[in-house]
Structure 1
């Protein structure tokens, strides 16, 4: 029995059974290690080796949480909500409400897309931008599951379709680079053309979520949001200007240093230096931020250990080789099974960028032997890598939206982010990737 299959399925089953995702990953990692032939000591060593890789992300989340709390203390969230509602009309059930909802969705979508290319800060914008908007969303009775889908779409689709920023790394450096290393001549292959159909599959999933699944209104406890955002705190011109400058400083520092930790710390220190967050309050603010992001941070740490255990068993290569050995000369079945293997691997590893180097060496010669065109091979492998990024409990693309939307404790990671994004993106992406492999 393959350790990767056992571990990923067990992790998902335990998570869906409402066991905390972090505990589900730890249990699944040790079961997977044992199934993969590792003893307890070797599994523990691999897990401990892996968790070091998640520590930096966890620290980033903690400091971003503190930065978000500091922004709330500046009064910016209350001002933002008050100004928007005053301008668009306080009757949130009328036409103004629809305009405002569309404007919010457009704002979040543009921010998410820009975070992958124009201002490549990835998920760092979410715990800063989203919590201040929760009050507006609640008054509009906007379903946060739709917001999660919008954010996840904006985090994934740009890198799998637009060849700039993170997309340049994924499409050219990783996808085309590894496919070429595996023996395929990629001269003249348009990677954007190859990934157009898969990207349209993502767009179809988002459109369905907006038009049908999450169109209805959903109620949230406004008092919990107000307590989290501390809207009762008075604000003034100074605190608002400091908040604006701090956000710009945090983004600029991250772009300059490449570190979310330094960016969040720079923004937080500006709040302290200017007195918007008084020195004797700074410890409490930091603790509140850590509490807000602790769950997400520990999931990232556990995910890194989980991934390392699966790699150590050697069963990832076994799974890919086994899938290849099951196939005959049926191109349609081959494309479907190869995409499923990519989905399973990315769901467990939590990173599309790490999946392609694993599968390309085997997928390319197999697809060449079956007569797939170069464009079809690129589309198949690119889609297989992206599959599972949405809907994985351990992916930045789901953890990031949860980090912002759960600032007040009213957004569950599995039920409100993972399951909605899995249904609306992986299923149409699987279909679109298969179609691309068949027609290109």
Structure 2
């Protein structure tokens, strides 16, 4: 479809979606209305927008089912009681030693542990967001006891889900950086895989800068009400129960890595609970359903996000947006670099995935960068930054949906204002600045 309209469909769609989300309209409705606004702006008939949106939903079915099953598996882990025992032990230790030093050590330990696990989930044990619904809900009561601001934890988790793939050429980072290499190949420019990571060091430093600032900004206490998540009474946890729970967790991660499927990973963990015969199947079934319901909404958001992304792509206005900028700013290198990064930010915010954004923008940015006589390292830095921008902060990104799913398990963490806005401010803005610097100096 031609993108010659004065009003760009991509900008309209993303702007409408973000504004409606900030006004606290349900994200699913905001995504659909944004897609409709973008499609109509591009001249698509309403029927075509709906058909395209509906067709795009299919692409999100796997991740939606993954979220639901992981929610069910997380509920079974909580039902087993092992995480509750661990949390009670730590809270008991804190109550014995109520010194300020002990609380600070506990806070730092939790933040450091979550940061480490999040980073490892992208490379060493590439399970991505699978650890969040299992690990976060059970320790919410502990974080409440320590009065940790959940907005900081959202930033820590999102940092761990995004920073590694930009800088580290392993795990999901290998996929991300190889996508950049492939994008250069498609336009006839050969670069080595090893050329990508070194040129992304400066842009990636923005994530670190933002995280450090957030650690200081959100250091003040924030009160939350401690709400019992599980419907069951506290139980004595036997050694056999602990072994069952540990085996189910190991099975989930192992099967996911072997099959590259969160669905079958979650199913493996769930089946170990049922086949252990440690619990009544009726009780397990009830807990499984509760867990699925807890995560189902996030899955629905992902489905809507895929429909939104499909409509944005179908309009063809991404290319017209970039071409319009290149024509208007010819010869103005600084403005060109800024505009390229802002386009990446807008597109990724809308699509919700940096991995899906790279092929779209790289096909335009590479020839445009060469024509503007930018160096290859600068083009790599700009594309990597433009792709990563928006992944943190997008209402439709699993890098924000995942943290929200865990932190909002007790209904006290807002997806937009407690996850998306903080991660956008503290992660996207510094990366935008460092990416711009890299595009100018490299």
- What is the TM-score of this pair, normalised by structure 1? 0.96
Q: Describe the shift of the 1:236–1:69 C-alpha distance in structure 2 as closer, same or farther (beyond 3 A).
A: same
1:347-426 equivalent positions in 2, closer than 5 A: 347-426=349-428
| Count of aligned pairs between the two proteins | 436
**Counterpart in 1 of 2:84?**
78
Q: 1:65 aligns with which of 59, 66, 71?
A: 71
1:29-108 equivalent positions in 2, closer than 5 A: 29-87=35-93, 90-91=96-97, 94-108=100-114
Q: Is the 8 A contact 1:350 1:392 kept in 2?
A: yes
**Counterpart in 1 of 2:249?**
247
SS class of match (1:186): coil
Q: Using the alignment, how far apart are the partners of 2:267 and 2:232 within structure 1?
A: 21
Q: What do the CA deviations read for 1:308-358 (whole angstroms, capped 9, x no partner)?
A: 111122222222222222222111111101000000000001111111111
**Counterpart in 2 of 1:174?**
179
Q: Structure 2: which 5+ runs fail to align?
A: 1-6
SS class of match (1:409): coil
Give 1:187 deviation, angstroms.
Answer: 5.1
Q: 1:215 aligns with which of 198, 213, 219?
A: 219
Q: Is the 8 A contact 2:319 2:364 kept in 1?
A: no
1:141-220 equivalent positions in 2, closer than 5 A: 141-171=147-177, 173-186=178-191, 190-212=195-217, 214-220=218-224
Q: Using the alignment, how far apart are the partners of 1:429 and 1:343 within structure 2?
A: 11
Q: Describe the shift of the 1:397–1:357 C-alpha distance in structure 2 as closer, same or farther (beyond 3 A).
A: same
Q: Using the alignment, how far apart are the partners of 1:93 and 1:308 within structure 2?
A: 54
Q: Using the alignment, how far apart are the partners of 2:192 and 2:253 within structure 1?
A: 37
Q: Using the alignment, how far apart are the partners of 1:327 and 1:406 within structure 2?
A: 44
- What is the TM-score of this pair, normalised by structure 2? 0.95
Q: Describe the shift of the 1:362–1:390 C-alpha distance in structure 2 as closer, same or farther (beyond 3 A).
A: same
**Counterpart in 1 of 2:435?**
433
Q: Using the alignment, how far apart are the partners of 2:413 and 2:278 within structure 1?
A: 29
Q: Describe the shift of the 1:276–1:149 C-alpha distance in structure 2 as closer, same or farther (beyond 3 A).
A: farther
**Counterpart in 1 of 2:4?**
none
**Counterpart in 2 of 1:13?**
19
Q: Describe the shift of the 1:298–1:15 C-alpha distance in structure 2 as closer, same or farther (beyond 3 A).
A: same
Give 1:95 deviation, angstroms.
Answer: 0.6
Q: Using the alignment, how far apart are the partners of 1:93 and 1:58 within structure 2?
A: 44
1:246-265 equivalent positions in 2, closer than 5 A: 246-265=248-267
Q: Structure 1: which 5+ runs fail to align?
A: none
SS class of match (2:229): helix
Q: Using the alignment, how far apart are the partners of 1:198 and 1:347 within structure 2?
A: 18
Q: 1:280 aligns with which of 276, 279, 282?
A: 282
Q: Using the alignment, how far apart are the partners of 1:185 and 1:342 within structure 2?
A: 22
Give 1:93 deviation, angstroms.
Answer: 5.9
After superposition, the CA RMSD in angstroms is: 1.6
Q: What do the CA deviations read for 1:3-46 (whole angstroms, capped 9, x no partner)?
A: 11111000000000010101111111112111111112111110
